Amino acid sequence: MMKKNNMRAYLVSAPAMIFIGLIVIFPIIYTFFISFTNMNTYHWFNYDFVGLKNYQNALLVFDSGFLNAILYTVLWTAVNMIMQLIIAFVIASFLNIEGLKLRRLYKTLLMFPWAMPGYISILIWKTGMFNSSFGLLNQWLGTSIRWLSSDLGATICCTVVNLWLALPFMIMIMDGGLKSIDKSLYESATIDGAGCIRKAVSITIPCLKPIIGPAVVITVFTTFKTFDVIYLLTQQVGSQTGARIHTIITYTYENAFITNNYGYSSAISIIIFILLILFYEMTNRRSKLC
Amino acid sequence: MLGKRARNLFKQTSLNIFFIVCCVLALIPILYTLSVSMNAEGSLLSSDFSFLPKHLTLKNYKSVFAEEPVMLWLGNTMLLAVSTVVLSLAVAIPASYVFSRWSFAGRKTVLKLLLLLYSFPSILSMFAVYKLMSALGLLNTHIGLIIIYAGTMSVFAVWNMKGYFDTIPVDIEEAAKIDGATDTQIVFMIVMPLARPSIIVTATMVLNFVWNEYIFSINFLTGSENMTLASGLYGLQATELSGSWPVFAAGSIIVSVPVLIIFFLSQKYMTSGLTSGGVKG
């Protein structure tokens, strides 16, 4: 009973649209405007238009750091997604093996990292696990290694923490997907003499794909947007650890709120937005989210 | 036959060991924090450190409450969280219902735009929001933050609940219509109760978002009397050189417990309330 009534529909959805327009859309347009100016702390009101200079600085100046940040973000997303999908698939499959009596208990316990407030978990990891003097890792090893001080070390630590944070959601999605697969498929496969791996490749993965598709696409976006893990672990104001790793979002934040280069950071924001639109069009054409 | 039983036993044992290891890995940072927060000895740095404290104390919890205005922060957070949930659901429920049920010019475009906006990280336009709030005179006010949070979360709320409304069969509504129910009656008496899982999950996600949000609140609010739990705790954390890790650990536990309770209470709705919308918070 799809009704056709434009006026009423607009009226009923207007409050939400006005809110979103003011808080989400207007700032994006305003960011677009700022990206053509030299606005910074000294030019808070009396800024000048500088044309495309900010965009040039971001894209054409090779050591601006932005291109590195893009590369890092792409690698970060790829590595994290691959590891997440594989580990979650293994754990969810094991959870669904028949005869596992404590399944519910394990599932509840495994959800804890997701239930904890994200920033608290990250700060706990930073101090409790990685701290050089009283972190658990160093306590157990009897060392005082500064895990977060090198780029590679910090990347590994950030990946571990990100996996710890993100796996429960993925396991839950995969577990739900696995439950919805018709059991008779496996029975007939067993009769035909198919082994475990053969069943996984020919039945489980193809059946799982459409069910978990949207959740995976969304997780790709979330991973691409990673800010908390990297910012809180390595570059909080006053307690930078020395590692110089940046995703595009931490890079933008640093330019906006630490070095106060508003024009430049706005230009980067717009470039990222355009990248997101392209990315979104690509995934949307494939997976038909809408 | 014996061989098969032995193999089965072996399989179950190794499976259980695997899951015990997984659970330990998942819980270790949390358990360690709990242990540190209740450890009576200042043995964090000593070599005879043990994971399970020999003597328990609530000293660190007391000092969180004594030294920091935690109750004030809690009040601020509750105010922000409840206002944001009420406001964002009040605007998003009607909108998501309309987007799910009615057809009108521009519907598809707006839905696509909303999904795109959802993928846009709000940190990227944070400076523009800052200037907007400063122009409206809402910097360093709770109203300002409530508006920002509600606006940001409305995008998620509309999409998530619209997805769930789509899965509710329209037949029930048509039957009610034939019986003479008005649109308002249909929404409040039929659709809302049916959509309860989705509404609960959406509210939980919004609540969680506000409870955990620190980056806007540390940049937009100044002064200890305005702080939220998240920004307060952020200021409490221990660095390599300063601060007290046991006190911070106690604070972390205090702030996490309510979230954990809400999460596990709403968990039975989680799968259906989230996956059908295809959007995660």
Q: How large is the average pLDDT for residues B1-6?
A: 73
pLDDT tens digits for B220-266?
888 778 888 888 888 887 655 556 778 888 888 988 898 888 888 87
pLDDT of residue B277: 46
Asked whether residue A103 falls in the same domain as residue A124, the answer is: yes
Q: Lowest-confidence range among A260-269, A280-289, B114-123?
A: A280-289
Which residue's structure tokens are 């280069």? A261
Asked whether residue A155 falls in the same domain as residue A227, the answer is: yes
pLDDT of residue B273: 59
Using pLDDT thresholds of 50, 70 and 90, give the confidence band for residue B272: low
Average of per-residue pLDDT values in chain A: 84
More confident residue, B279 or B130: B130
Q: Lowest-confidence range among A23-32, A54-63, A257-266, B93-102?
A: A54-63
pLDDT of residue B243: 61
Asked whether residue A195 falls in the same domain as residue A222, the answer is: yes
Residues forming beta bridges with residue A3, ordered by sequence position: B102
Whole-number Å distance between alpha carbons of B85 and B164 = 18
Asked whether residue A165 falls in the same domain as residue A234, the answer is: yes
A209-212: Cβ within 8 A, 24+ apart? A211/A176, A211/A177, A211/A180, A212/A173, A212/A174, A212/A177
Q: Lowest-confidence range among A98-107, B148-157, B268-277?
A: B268-277
More confident residue, A53 or A284: A53
Domain count, chain A: 2
Residues of A with CB below 8 A from B150's CB? 19, 23
Asked whether residue A116 falls in the same domain as residue A43, the answer is: no
**Distance set, CA B113 to CA A2, A217, A265, B57 (Å):** 21, 17, 23, 53
**Distance set, CA B38 to CA A259, B23, B56, B58, B241 (Å):** 40, 22, 5, 6, 21
Say if A21 falls within a structural domain: no
- Which of A12, A117, A266 is facing B259, going by the closest CB pair? A117
> Is residue B174 within 8 angstroms of chain A, CB to CB?
yes
CATH number of the domain bearing residue A221 = 1.10.3720.10
Q: Where are the domains of chain B?
A: 2-57, 61-275
User: A27 vs B132: CB contact, 8 Å cut-off?
Assistant: yes
pLDDT of residue A77: 93
pLDDT tens digits for B195-224?
888 898 899 889 888 988 888 988 888 877
Say if A74 falls within a structural domain: no
Q: How large is the average pLDDT for residues A126-147?
A: 79
User: A3 vs B101: CB contact, 8 Å cut-off?
Assistant: yes
**Percent of chain B residues past pLDDT 70, beyond the cut:** 89
User: B245 vs A127: CB contact, 8 Å cut-off?
Assistant: yes
Radius of gyration of chain A (CA): 24
Asked whether residue A110 falls in the same domain as residue A181, the answer is: yes
The number of beta carbons lying within 10 Å of the beta carbon of residue B54 is: 10
Angle, vertex CA A182, rays to CA A177 and CA A187, nearest 5: 125
pLDDT tens digits for A162-209?
999 999 989 988 888 888 777 777 878 888 877 778 777 877 888 888
The pLDDT of residue B270 is above 50? yes
Say if A73 falls within a structural domain: no
Asked whether residue A228 falls in the same domain as residue A250, the answer is: no
pTM of the model: 0.83
Structural element, H or E, at residue A3: strand A3-4
Say if A19 falls within a structural domain: no
pLDDT tens digits for A257-269?
888 888 899 999 9
Say if A231 falls within a structural domain: yes
Q: Are B41 and B55 in contact (CB under 8 A)?
A: yes
Asked whether residue A157 falls in the same domain as residue A277, the answer is: no
Residues of B with CB below 8 A from A121's CB? 29-30
Q: How large is the average pLDDT for residues A92-120?
A: 85
> Is residue B23 within 8 angstroms of chain A, CB to CB?
yes
Q: Of A225, A245, A265, which residue is a domain's last?
A: A245
The answer for A 236-265 residues in CB contact with B (under 8 A) is 238-239, 249, 252-253, 256-257, 262, 265
Asked whether residue A250 falls in the same domain as residue A215, the answer is: no
pLDDT of residue B42: 59
Q: Of A245, A260, A280, which residue is a domain's last?
A: A245
Highest mean pLDDT among A144-153, A238-247, B148-157: B148-157
Closest residue by Cα to residue B281 from B166, B164, B203, B196: B203
Say if A70 falls within a structural domain: no
The pLDDT of residue A81 is above 90? yes
Three-state SS annotation for chain B: CHHHHHHHHHHHHHHHHHHHHHHHHHHHHHHHHHHHHCECCCCCCCCCCCCCCCCECCHHHHHHHHHCCHHHHHHHHHHHHHHHHHHHHHHHHHHHHHHHHEECCCHHHHHHHHHHHHHCCHHHHHHHHHHHHHHHCCCCCHHHHHHHHHHHHHHHHHHHHHHHHHHCCCHHHHHHHHCCCCHHHHHHHHHHHHCHHHHHHHHHHHHHHHHHCCHHHHHHCCCCCCCCHHHHHHHHCCCCCCCCHHHHHHHHHHHHHHHHHHHHHCHHHHHHHHHCCCCCC
**CATH architecture of residue range(s) B61-275:** Orthogonal Bundle (1.10)
**Which residue range forms the structural domain that includes residue A44?**
33-65+246-290
ipTM, two decimals: 0.82
pLDDT of residue B238: 61
Using pLDDT thresholds of 50, 70 and 90, give the confidence band for residue A290: very low
Asked whether residue A111 falls in the same domain as residue A220, the answer is: yes
pLDDT of residue B278: 43
Q: What is the largest CA-CA distance in chain A?
A: 78
The answer for A 129-148 residues in CB contact with B (under 8 A) is 129, 131-134, 136, 139
Q: Choosing among A11, A23, A173, which should be mutated to test the B contact, i.e. which has the most B CBs within 10 A?
A: A23
Q: Are A123 and B237 in contact (CB under 8 A)?
A: yes
The pLDDT of residue A29 is above 90? yes
Asked whether residue A94 falls in the same domain as residue A49, the answer is: no
Whole-number Å distance between alpha carbons of B162 and B165 = 5
> Is residue B24 within 8 angstroms of chain A, CB to CB?
no
Average of per-residue pLDDT values in chain B: 83
Q: Tokens at residue A263, please? A: 């024009």
Using pLDDT thresholds of 50, 70 and 90, give the confidence band for residue B280: very low
Highest mean pLDDT among A33-37, A193-197, B55-59: A33-37
Say if A3 falls within a structural domain: no
Say if A71 falls within a structural domain: no
Residues of B with CB below 8 A from A116's CB? 30, 256, 259-260
Using pLDDT thresholds of 50, 70 and 90, give the confidence band for residue B2: low
Asked whether residue A165 falls in the same domain as residue A188, the answer is: yes
List of residues 6+ apart from B187 with CB closer than 8 A: B94, B97
